[in-house]
Amino acid sequence: MTNGILGKGRLVFLDGGMGTQLQERGLRPGETPELWNLSRPDDIRAVHSAYLAAGADIVYANTFGANAAKYHADAPLADVVSAGVALAREAVHAAGGKRFVALDVGPTGRLLKPAGDFEFDAAYDAFAEEVRLGAEAGADLVVIETMGDAYELKAAVLAAKENSSLPVLATVALGEDGKLLTGADVECVAAILEGLHVDALGLNCGFGPDKMLPFVKRLAAATSLPIAVKPNAGLPKVEGGKTIFTVGPDEFAADVIELVKAGASIVGGCCGTTPAHIRKVVESLGEWGMGERGNSSFAHSRTVVCSGSCVVEISTDDAIIIGERINPTGKKKLKAALSEGDVAYVLREAVSQAEAGAHVLDVNVGVPGLDEPALLDSTIQAVQSVTALPLQIDTSDPKALERALRHYNGKALVNSVNGKEESMSSVLPLVAKYGGAVVALTLDENGIPPTAEGRLAIAKRILARGAEYGLKPSDFVIDVLCLAVSADANSANVILEALRRVRAELGCCTCLGVSNISFGLPARPLLNASLYTMALGAGLSAGIINPLASDMMTAYRAYRALTGKDRTCCEWIDLFKDWTPDVRRPTSGVRQPSSGGQQPESGATGSRLSDAIRHGLKADAAVAAREELASGVAPLDVIDTGIVPALEVVGRGFESGSVFLPQLLMAAEAAGAAFDVVRTALPSRDGASVRGPIIVATVKGDIHDIGKNICRALLENYGFKVIDLGRDVPPEKIVETARREKARLIGLSALMTTTVCFMEETVRLVHENLPDCKVTVGGAVLTADYAAKIGADHYSKDAMGLVRYAETMFPAKMV
């Protein structure tokens, strides 16, 4: 079927612009074009016929906006879609020959979470309905076009594949910078679409064929699938309120020839193109065979994962870092954060690893007693809202894996499959369906083989099994497994041999959880870094490490400098230009103490710590706190006589109008940095603050969270325990969390008049269910009167107001 329609080995001609043709026939701005399928069928049929007469093999039915999320006209959607497909079919019949009707699926016009508020599943449902209607009406293929968001694109492709058996062509609209609106470039789009097994992919709209050329070249290098192009008749120009396209048929066709030479094999036009443009393209290209597609086998053999905007290649020639920190195994704080629903903690872990240089982040939320499928799903979505790095979905629960893979924005790395039959038969089909690369653990029913030979054999078996599901060796990353050298003296030797042999004999990429090696031994970071260096030398593609561990990062940077990957050693120089034997990793902005060893003043003013906090110098405050501890000041005294009074001075300054919000926040952050230092010196307190907990959230419907974040930061630095539920939080979730955590105070934020109704609902629900729990509210549109009107217990005019209120409720001494 596919070969007949989007076929390899020959050129396929698509039609040209529909919207611009309808505008010439009188379509007004803001009018719903799909309604013309019912009200002006002759016009629609005539446009199709003109394109068929010009030589198009495929015409797009007039169904671009016919999804329930976008379509709001009175006529039933089903009628509009079936009439649209039928009109194209009639034109095809009349034209005769081997021509086809495509159901045209355009975007919903809504921005998906986390960029907007629209749920992935809601987008999927809208597309699924359109696809079912189109397939019932007899479309020959599904065309998804003009997508500007990789995530919405994924929803549309899944909907097309799961609700019809028709071939799928997917094309995206790039901006002039070569990216989608949400940041994906062509390599990213290619990775996602290949993973989802569309039949052809490409570019439409955006700009003219000349500007499309470099991107088609890049696409040809990134995919082995047929490439479609549907450029505009040049860049749109607006003159006197009208959109005008300036590239005529001759120029257009000449440029399209270049696109075919670069690798495109399915060609047509988008906005501003006319039957005359298509006729000229068909005439000009009649003489041309297929263009040369160099390198497509190269594309086929690469291991690529991505998010919705960032591609990472895992290769046998260079190494990347997979950040291991979002994994609760052995991490008390993370476990607590996951149990409490404290998303902010997890997000900080994500961002700090990204800033430290990780390329992929592992996400594991396996805590006994928690609903792993739901938690993994929500955590991945939350992490994707703050980082563009691709994620490694780490779970042993196939249900959790499927849900996470489905909702993941991009093409994920899956951790993991192993040689056990049960694992292979549950994990491999999911990877094949949703796309991705998968970590293959070299263990099976008999455990971990003691030799490299044995581990290689399991890897081969997994690869062979993968082939049955259509997975290529490049879809796998082999984990040769790291056992503690204290338990098995030969462990590192086996690892290094296995790494070399997997690369040489299987041509596969490798990964390794490096830090297991030192289990049970002292000075673990030193051993870890040494094994890491050796493994990199043996060809390790991806170390699963802690990117915040400076020894590991130094080993990685050194490896890249020494093997010529860091060309001219720029990265190395940049990182270590200020290196001295005493200060191994200089932190920017840290001033060295002017004089060491003297007794620091621990009064509220004048001390270095106090100054650092009052001036909002984060790094300085941490250094000063460390100095005070080193000089023998008791940790609690550093807090009581250093940090708290300094923060209090700033807080009072804010209340009296001499200090402004940005300075208050900077002071709070500096105090926080000092707190963190002192907490490590407080034995057995586990860093937990003692007052609270206080729950903060931005109410349902509202995505503005700056005010809420400010409140959280200040509360934390005044010693309160805060559970931050994020933004757009449903009332039920707030009540449920407050009940579970026995919270006595909830802070709600709303910025818009349109979302205050949800604030009111939340307040009501809290009071009904938790009579002892107080609710304080704040936000741009609120006043004390309004807060009282919606039943809130308190109105916080700003973040300090909230702190003061919280102090009245929790009068205990800080820490």
Partner 1 sequence: MTIDEREICRYLRLQGRAPGAALEERITVMREQALKAIRPARVWRRFDDPFVVGGADSKTLKRHLAECHAAYLVCTTIGAEFDTLQRRTAATSPADAFVLQAIGAAAIEEWTDETEREIRRELKEGETLVSRYSPGYGDWPLEAQRRLFELLDAPRKVGVSLTDSLLMVPSKSVSAIIGVKTEVPQ
**Minimum Å distance from CB 649 to partner 1?**
15
Q: Is 269 in the site for partner 1 (CB under 8 A)?
A: no
Segments of 582-704 assigned E as strands: 691-698
CB 35 within 8 A of CB 80: yes
Is 325 a residue that touches partner 1 (CB under 8 A)? no
228-257 positions binding partner 1, by CB under 8 A: 238, 240-241
CA–CA separation, 778 vs 705, rounded Å? 12
Q: Among residues 230 and 455, whose Cβ is nearest to partner 1? A: 230
Using CB under 8 A, pick the residue from 26, 116, 289, 687 that binds partner 1: 116
Q: How far is the CB of 670 from partner 1 (least distance, A)?
A: 9
* 387 touches partner 1 by CB under 8 A: yes
Minimum distance, C-beta of residue 461 to partner 1, in the bound complex (Å)? 41
β pairing state of 303-306 and 311-314: antiparallel
Cβ count near 244 (within 10 Å): 13
- Single out the residue of 263, 282, 275, 168 nearest to residue 212, CA to CA: 263
User: Taking contact as CB under 8 A, which single stretch among the options 343-351, 403-411, 419-427, 628-636 is the one that binds partner 1?
Assistant: 343-351
Min CB(704)–partner 1 separation in Å: 7
800 binds partner 1 per the rule CB under 8 A? no
Within 122-161, which residues bind partner 1 (CB under 8 A)?
146, 148
The minimum distance between CB 764 and partner 1, in angstroms, equals 19
DSSP string, 457-487: HHHHHHHHHHHHTT--GGGEEEE-----TTT
Q: Which is nearer to partner 1, 580 or 588 (CB)?
A: 588
All residues at 6 or more sequence positions from 646 whose CB lies less than 8 Å from its CB, including other chains: 604, 605, 609, 610, 613, 614, 667, 671
Residue type (1 letter), 656: S
State which residue, 150 or 480, has the beta carbon closest to partner 1. 150
Q: Cβ 73 to partner 1, closest distance in Å? A: 11
**What count of other Cβ atoms lies within 10 Å of the Cβ of residue 650?**
24
Q: Which is nearer to partner 1, 464 or 706 (CB)?
A: 706
Question: To the nearest whole angstrom, how small is the minimum distance from the Cβ of residue 66 to partner 1?
Answer: 15
What is the C-alpha separation between 409 and 391, in angstroms, rounded?
9
Choice between 78 and 619, CB closer to partner 1: 619
Beta carbon nearer to partner 1, 146 or 607: 146
Q: Is the dihedral of CA 569, 574, 577, 582 positive or negative?
A: negative
Select 460 or 727, whichever has its Cβ closest to partner 1.
727
Task: Out of 46, 95, 181, 619, name the contact with partner 1 by CB under 8 A.
Answer: 181
DSSP summary character for residue 418: E
640 binds partner 1, rule: CB under 8 A:
no
**Which residue's CB is nearer to partner 1, number 241 or number 522?**
241
| CB of residue 753 to partner 1, shortest distance in Å | 8
The DSSP annotation for 161-193 comes to: HHH--S-EEEEE---TTS--TTS--HHHHHHHH
Q: How far apart are CA 262 and CA 216, in angstroms?
A: 7
- The one segment of 176-184, 297-305, 315-323, 537-545 that binds partner 1 by CB under 8 A: 176-184
Taking the least distance from each CB to partner 1, the nearer of 551 and 669 is: 669
Question: Is residue 105 within 8 Å of 156, Cβ to Cβ?
Answer: yes
656 binds partner 1 (CB under 8 A): no
Within a 10 A sphere around the Cβ of 64, how many other Cβ atoms? Answer: 21
**Closer to partner 1 by Cβ: residue 433 or 712:** 712
* Tokens 């000092």, located at residue: 674
Q: Which of 115, 336, 356, 682 binds partner 1 (CB under 8 A)?
A: 115
Element (H, E) at 653: helix 644-656
Distance CA 435, CA 440 (A): 15
Within residues 660-719, the interface with partner 1 by CB under 8 A covers 660-663, 665-666, 668-669, 701-706, 709-710, 712-713
Q: Which of 492, 617 has the CB closer to partner 1?
A: 617
User: Applying CB under 8 A, which of residues 9, 29, 522, 596 lies at the interface with partner 1?
Assistant: 29
Q: Tell me: does residue 183 bind partner 1 (CB under 8 A).
A: yes
6 vs 756 by CB, closer to partner 1: 756
- Interface residue with partner 1, options 388, 438, 677, 745 (CB under 8 A): 388
| Residues contacting 388, CB < 8 A, separation 6+ | 183, 307, 308, 309, 310
Nearest to partner 1 of 196, 347 (CB atom): 347
- Written as six digits, the tokens of 366 are 């396996």
Range in contact with partner 1 (rule: CB under 8 A) among 81-89, 345-353, 438-446, 535-543: 345-353
Q: In 249-354, which ranges are E strands?
A: 264-267, 303-306, 311-314, 320-326
d(CA 244, CA 267): 22
- CB within 8 A of 488, min separation 6: which ones? 450
The contacts of residue 64 (CB under 8 Å, 6+ apart) are: 18, 19, 33, 34, 104, 105, 106, 145, 146
Q: How many residues bind partner 1 (CB under 8 A)?
A: 60
Please say whether the beta carbons of 130 and 66 come within 8 A. yes
Using CB under 8 A as the binding rule, whether residue 211 contacts partner 1 is answered as no
Work out which of 79, 90, 117, 397 binds partner 1, going by CB under 8 A: 117
- Sheet containing strand 691-698, edge to edge, reads 720-724, 691-698, 745-749, 774-778, 794-795
Q: Which is nearer to partner 1, 129 or 728 (CB)?
A: 728
754 binds partner 1 (CB under 8 A): yes
Under the rule (CB under 8 A), what is the footprint of partner 1? 29-30, 107, 109-111, 114-118, 146, 148, 175, 177, 179, 181-183, 238, 240-241, 309, 344, 347-348, 350-352, 354-355, 385-388, 615-617, 660-663, 665-666, 668-669, 701-706, 709-710, 712-713, 752-755
